[in-house]
Amino acid sequence: MRIARLKNADIHWREDGDPDGAPIVFANSLGTDLRLWDSVIKRLPKDGYRYIRFDKRGHGLSSCPPAPYSITELVDDLEGLLKQIGVTRFAFIGLSFGGMIGQLLAHRHPDRVTCMVLACTAVKMGTPEMWQDRIKSIQTGGLESLADAVMDRWFSGPFRHSDECLAWMHMLTRTPAEGYIGCSTALAAADLSATTASLSLPVLGIAGSQDLASPPEQVRATTDLIAGSQFIEIPDAGHLPCVEQPDLFTAHVQKFFEESAHV
């Protein structure tokens, strides 16, 4: 296990694949840790790519500074991690909140992000009122009070009632409440409409056909802001298609990176 000791947080990270390969940075959704990408990385080529993933502050094995957070601080954390491990140019793949982190990172560093996958994300997610209601529920009843509703948004069909779904529920409920609240305040304030519309790089948008958190039309509207972007929809999947449909998800990602010459 590796920890990058940064100015404002200690960030847990991991790398797989080829240490000399083209770097690909992965960013997780709210309430998950870097294990979100296990099934994808298992299916990606072992040679030619260096896969870097991390737990954002308040999640997984990273430290949990006091809330609130801002999306700027979360991007600062990722910048600090990449600087510490010597990654300058890289491809990016982010899901949900991770996709928002990627959008702002690409705006800050258009010369460093070579191409980007934006999965189940948007330029703005939810409303400030929605996030405040969620924060109040956590303060009153803990993350357990949200768990069933979150699973309904994360997963579709039979997967929702599988044993594996229970493991993802446990991941959610074991997230530090302070970390979840901190990231919720960041999401409540974030609106990347203007900065994302200024991007110019190869982008693939991926949506889950049954995603209740970031419906396909929301993902498409986000990628449509970026000239020349592509969009695909994965059937029979909710908010985490990389978990529910890893074969399809990985095939689309690998094809995109190969076409974007990130190798």
**Predicted confidence (pLDDT) per residue in 89-103, tens digit:** 999 999 999 999 999
- In this prediction, residue 260 carries a pLDDT of 86
Question: Does 139 score more than 80 pLDDT?
Answer: yes
CB neighbour list of residue 181: distance below 8 Å, 6 or more residues apart: 67, 68, 135, 138, 139
Question: Does 14 score more than 80 pLDDT?
Answer: yes
Rounded Cα distance between 37 and 44, Å, is 11
Rounded mean pLDDT of 140-168?
95
> Considering Cα of 236, then 241, then 244, then 250, what sign does the dihedral take?
positive
**Predicted confidence (pLDDT) per residue in 218-251, tens digit:** 999 999 999 999 999 999 999 999 999 999 999 9
Paired tokens of 250: 């990985």
Helix (H) or strand (E) holding 50: strand 49-54
Question: Does 262 score more than 70 pLDDT?
Answer: no
Nearest to 190 by CA among 120, 104, 93: 104
The chain-wide mean pLDDT, for the chain, equals 96
Question: Does 191 score more than 80 pLDDT?
Answer: yes
* pLDDT band of 263, cuts 50, 70, 90: very low
* pLDDT band of 4, cuts 50, 70, 90: very high
* pLDDT band of 15, cuts 50, 70, 90: very high
Residue 56's Cβ-side half-sphere holds a number of Cα atoms within 13 Å equal to 35
Paired tokens of 31: 């309430």
pTM: 0.96
216 upstream amide cis, omega within 30 of 0: no
